[in-house]
Amino acid sequence: MNYLAFKIPVMIYRKLSYLMLAFSVVVFSFKEIAGGTVGGNVNPPDAGLRAFLFSAKDTISVNVASGTFQFAKVPSGTYKLLIEAAPPYKNAVKEGIRVLEGEFTDAGQIELQK
């Protein structure tokens, strides 16, 4: 058997192996962020416009609908919640909203003041 005939398939096999390894690393290194969920209520129900979650890394916002808000896929961490209010009400802030992976965090009922 010719030495070169044996060496070429081995070289191709090695290159394909490295390529498959690199492809596997790229594909499996991306993980979907499931996060947690945060929800709550605003009183009076028609006074809340938008809800915001602030952390050192993220700012997330959702609309308040019929006095209810819910954030989905929120990365784990501690957040500050801000409810943007319609005049004559004032914005409200709640600190220390702790979000854990795969869990629901109840922010409670946020009372808006005039």
Residue with tokens 């058997």: 1
Examine the pLDDT at 62 and tell me if it is beyond 90.
yes
The per-residue pLDDT for 34 is: 81
Whether residues 46 and 26 share a domain: the answer is: no
Q: Omega of the bond prior to 75 within 30 degrees of 0, cis?
A: no
54 with 26, same domain: the answer is no
Residue 18 has pLDDT above 70, yes or no: no
Residue 67 falls within a domain, yes or no? Answer: yes
Indicate if the pLDDT at residue 79 is higher than 90: yes
pLDDT of residue 58: 86
89 in the same domain as 53: yes
Same domain, residue pair 93 and 46: yes
Check whether residue 43 and residue 70 sit in a common domain: yes
User: 79 and 42 share a domain?
Assistant: yes
User: Could you give the number of structural domains in the chain?
Assistant: 2
Chain segment 80-94, per-residue pLDDT in tens: 999 999 999 999 999
26 lies in the same domain as 43: no
Q: Is 72's pLDDT higher than 80? A: yes
| Confidence bin at 25 (pLDDT 50/70/90) | low
Candidate from 3-7, 76-80, 84-88 with smallest mean pLDDT:
3-7
Burial class of residue 104 in the structure, from the number of CB atoms within 10 Å of its CB (0-12 exposed, 13-18 middle, 19+ buried): exposed
**Could you tell me the residue range of the domain that residue 82 belongs to?**
36-101
The pTM (predicted TM-score) of the whole model is 0.70
